[in-house]
Amino acid sequence: MKLRNSNLDKLANDDFDVLIIGGGINGASAAAALAGKGARVGLIDRGDFAGSTSMHSSNLVWGGIKYMESKDFGLVRKLCKSRNHLIKNYPSTVEEIRFLTTISKGFRHHPSYLYAGTWLYWLMGNAFTKIPKLFTPKGIKNSEPIVNTENAVGGFEYSDAILHDNDARFVFNFIRHAIDYGASIANYVESNGASYEDGRWVVQARNVIDGSTFPIRAKVLVNAAGPWVDHHNKLTGQQTQHQHLYSKGIHLIVPQLTDSKRVLAFFANDGRLFFVIPMGNRTCIGTTDTHMEQPEVDVTQEDIDFVLENINTRLTLEKPITTADIISTRCGVRPLAIKSSKGKDRDFQQLSRKHVVDTNADSAHISIFGGKLTDCLNVGDEISDEVSKLGIDIPFPDYKWYGEPSEDVKREFMQQAERMGLDEMTPETSSEPLSKRLWRRYAAQSLDMLEQIRQDPREAELLIEGTEYIRCELRQTHRSEMVTKLDDFLRRRAKVSLVVPHEELRHSEGLKEACHMLFGDQAEERFNEYFDKVPDTARFTENNQNRVSA
């Protein structure tokens, strides 16, 4: 908690060039870009970083192939270039992955037509990935036996990318970079509104943890509150050219369905792309697309039934997947940017996830609408440019604020890891060598972790059963990742609660030790706070059992 408390002091007492409201992917990338380029930056989030839309994605980094059908080629080209840029700059985290798509009889396009589209998609992405491939139904079955090809007329395979860990972890790394560049950032601090007086914003902030309030002062205010951008603009009296529509999407995490390292793609019953996504020793399936009036959403039985019906129809399984197989769920809204003048009477399924930067120069206010993980580097640079146009000095406008450390730093880490035999210490249940995993998650900070393991080899021991986290990772998390509640670690800094059943975690002695490492004297309180909540998986499993017994 030391890091958070020191940043709270800075937020209350310093003056900032820019204050950002919201720590999702838009706010996090904007903070890293501005701080890296030399601006004085503050950021607050009323919950944890990546606590909403940015932790409920499919973990895919893709160029928007679905926008080919609507002929939005400009957006596809931009997203493909953004995807390529992320792969090049985060080679340990953003990895190319193949998508095998099956086309059923009666679909609106023939597989050959769609296959031609994948070649155009490949060319629009500068031929950066592996070339597409056309499949017959027999070829699909031979390549991926789990796919039900009885009603298939063919398919194709193409490449996009995937986040190796999880989306929220990727977002937090931008937060961590921003802090390293000098930004003052705190989670669980909400804005109760702000006023613009004499060329300066004064935000009325509230510490959610203890209820204390304090003002934060900045020359420019950036509203990056994700689905709640419109809500915060009302608090500050901002009139904008854009607003949001909301589309709910859910994913289900189930036991591993195939050990294939590719994404299986289908067109769901409503015509949208539907995915089976590898997640280590688990599988992620979804998604839905339901229009919502408000950004607060929950998983419903209807959502569950839709996903299970689609997956059981399209795969050949020994036993159909039921609610009892669901380990965890992801449920969030996609905030879709539209022109305010056009109202909300739109076909939201045809709207893209492109971001829009809406600036009010008279009040030095910027709103970020829409957006997705793939486009995050563009968001950071665009917000830096907008802030500069508002008269804020950006000392290092050309500084490269993103990406993994240099090859020299990585080489030094790998050489040290090899000399001390780090990979020989990898727990037997791990899916990859320790050196690879520590570098991907912590980059240059992993050098400090090597020293901890040298001093005490027990620091390389697995701590939480069923996961891939060792003791020194928990110490690193405690020191530098601003974990305030247990869910911050289990769901966002890590993906533990996505892949380990809730009841297994409740009885994990390793997790109890981890709580003491993270929270000290507050360990029991934080543990009980987390497990007193009933997860959606338990609720739907119980409902399903009641329906069967009835």
Encode the chain (550 residues) as per-residue pLDDT tens digits: 799 999 999 999 999 999 999 999 999 999 999 999 999 999 999 999 999 999 999 999 988 898 888 888 999 999 999 999 999 999 999 999 999 999 999 888 889 999 999 999 999 999 999 999 999 999 999 999 999 999 999 999 999 999 998 999 999 999 999 999 999 999 999 999 999 999 999 999 999 999 999 999 999 999 999 999 999 999 999 999 999 999 999 999 999 999 989 999 998 877 778 899 999 889 999 988 899 999 999 999 999 999 999 999 999 999 999 999 999 999 999 999 999 876 555 555 557 778 999 999 999 999 999 998 999 999 999 999 999 999 999 999 999 999 999 999 999 999 999 999 999 999 988 889 999 999 999 999 999 999 999 999 999 999 998 899 999 999 999 999 999 999 999 999 999 999 999 999 999 999 999 999 999 999 999 999 999 986 666 556 555 544 433 3
Boundary (domain end) residue, out of 295, 319, 338: 338
Please count the CA atoms within 13 angstroms of the CA of 124 that sit on its side-chain side: 26
Same domain, 520 and 508: yes
Same domain, 78 and 153: yes
Per-residue buried b or exposed e for 61-78, using 16+ beta carbons within 10 Å of the residue's own CB? bbbbbebbeeebeebbbb
| Cβ-contact 494, 168 below 8 angstroms | no
Instruction: Show Cβ contacts of residue 276 under 8 Å, excluding neighbours closer than 6 positions.
Output: 257, 258, 263, 264, 265, 266, 283, 284, 285, 311, 315
Same domain, 361 and 510: no
542 belongs to a structural domain: no
Q: How far apart are CA 18 and CA 350, in angstroms?
A: 34
| Cβ-contact 303, 251 below 8 angstroms | no
Same domain, 70 and 217: no
| Cβ-contact 483, 455 below 8 angstroms | no
Same domain, 280 and 352: no
Q: How far apart are CA 402 and CA 526, in angstroms?
A: 33
Total domains in the chain come to 3
Distance from the Cα of residue 384 to its chain's centroid: 22
400 belongs to a structural domain: no
Same domain, 453 and 308: no
**Domain, as residue range, for 140:** 62-165+245-338
Amino acid at 490: L
Q: State how far the alpha carbon of 538 is from the alpha carbons of 10, 49, 130, 464, 504, in Å.
A: 42, 26, 41, 22, 13
Same domain, 258 and 334: yes
Q: How far apart are CA 371 and CA 379, in angstroms?
A: 8
Q: How far apart are CA 297 and CA 294, in angstroms?
A: 8
